[in-house]
Each structure stands twice: as C-alpha cells, then as structure tokens.
C-alpha cells in the first residue's frame, strides 16, 4: 500500500515505522530515510522555507512510489514531506519501505529518495540570521544519482 502525505506539521517517525510493521508477519525488512534541516553553511541559518506545487507534489510522490512498487517486490511505501517554515534540525522528509527482503527495501528507499530529489516540485529557500536569503541550488550529484536507476534498467 502506498501512503503519501505533504504537510506543514511534524511527523512521528516511530509511529510511521509502526505503521509499516503493523501486525504483519511477512515483513522481513524495512528501510527508512529521514532528512533534516542542516545548518552547516557559512552563514548561520535562521530557518528554511519549503515551497511546493500543491496538487502536483502529491501526484509526483505517488508516481515515484508506484515506479518503485513496479520495480521491486514491496509491501508498503510511506512518504511524508513537510512544507512551510522549518528550523535547523527539523525533520523534512520520511521515506519508509517494507519488503520481504532487505535488498528490495534498501533499493526502493534509495530510488524513491533519488527520484524525489530530482522530480518532486519542492523548492528550499534559506533565511539566514543576518537577514539575507538564498534559494538552495539543485545539485548535479542528485541528477547523477538518479540517472543510475535508468542505467540499471
């Protein structure tokens, strides 16, 4: 089952994982990724604003999850992505994948993150404590990491 949430509210990672485990005895492994707001740049970060494209965001995450489910034998996929203003250390994203086998869970989780990073319509803007701002630039390495999955086809 695929569960997608795009929300301003924080999420409870433990609860998300319990949903993936819930009363099932065929789950062999669950691979999870969580991303947090980092404050490691030159200028101290005040907060980060996450802009998104309402409607398309949910559809894009759904499509990414469906591609993963076609590619690997998965049981459940849960994706939560936050929007709005987030503080350093705040959780941004949760991707959890359960499968009978750990290899499928690991691959699918990493695929979803790589695909999300290059396809889901989110944009980060950093607001520094000195009052200046900066849109986060997309990384070439994210494009390259996502391209690996095409080569493996």
Torsion over CA: 100, 103, 109, 115 (sign)? negative
Write the DSSP symbol of residue 70.
H
Choose one: 25-33, 54-62, 65-73, 122-130; the region binding a second copy (CB under 8 A).
25-33
Please, which residue, 35 or 88, has the CB nearer to other proteins?
Answer: 35
Contacts of other proteins in 71-90 (CB under 8 A): 81
Contact 30, 97 (CB under 8 A): yes
Among other proteins, a second copy, none, the one that 81 touches (CB under a kind-dependent 5 to 8 A) is other proteins
Minimum CB distance to other proteins smaller for 140 or for 153: 140
Taking residue 106's Cβ as centre, other Cβ atoms within 10 Å add up to 15
CA dist 37 and 41 (Å) reads 11
The two tokens of residue 122 are 């989110």
Does 35 contact a second copy by CB under 8 A?
yes
Per rule CB under 8 A, is residue 110 in the interface with a second copy? yes
On whether the CB atoms of residues 5 and 81 are closer than 8 A, the answer is yes
Interaction between residue 8 and other proteins (CB under 8 A):
no
Q: At 122, is the secondary structure helix, strand, or coil?
A: strand
CA 58 to chain centre: 12
Applying CB under 8 A, among 85, 124, 127, 128 the residue interacting with other proteins is 124
Q: Establish if 66 lies at the interface with other proteins (CB under 8 A).
A: no
Residues of this chain that bind other proteins (CB under 8 A): 35, 50-53, 55-56, 59-60, 81, 92-93, 102, 113, 116-125, 135-138
């Amino acid at each position: 089952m695929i569960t997608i949430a795009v929300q301003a509210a924080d999420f409870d990672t433990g609860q998300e994982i319990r949903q993936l485990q819930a009363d099932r005895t065929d789950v062999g492994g669950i691979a999870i990724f969580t991303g947090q707001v980092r404050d490691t740049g030159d200028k101290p970060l005040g907060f980060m604003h996450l802009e998104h494209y309402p409607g398309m965001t949910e559809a894009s995450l759904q499509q990414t999850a469906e591609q993963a489910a076609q590619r690997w034998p998965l049981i459940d996929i849960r994706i939560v992505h936050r929007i709005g203003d987030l503080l350093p250390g705040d959780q941004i994203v949760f991707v959890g994948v359960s499968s009978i086998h750990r290899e499928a869970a690991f691959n699918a989780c990493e695929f979803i993150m790589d695909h999300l990073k290059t396809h889901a319509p989110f944009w980060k803007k950093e607001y520094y404590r000195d009052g200046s701002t900066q849109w986060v630039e997309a990384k070439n390495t994210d494009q390259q990491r996502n391209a690996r999955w095409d080569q493996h086809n």
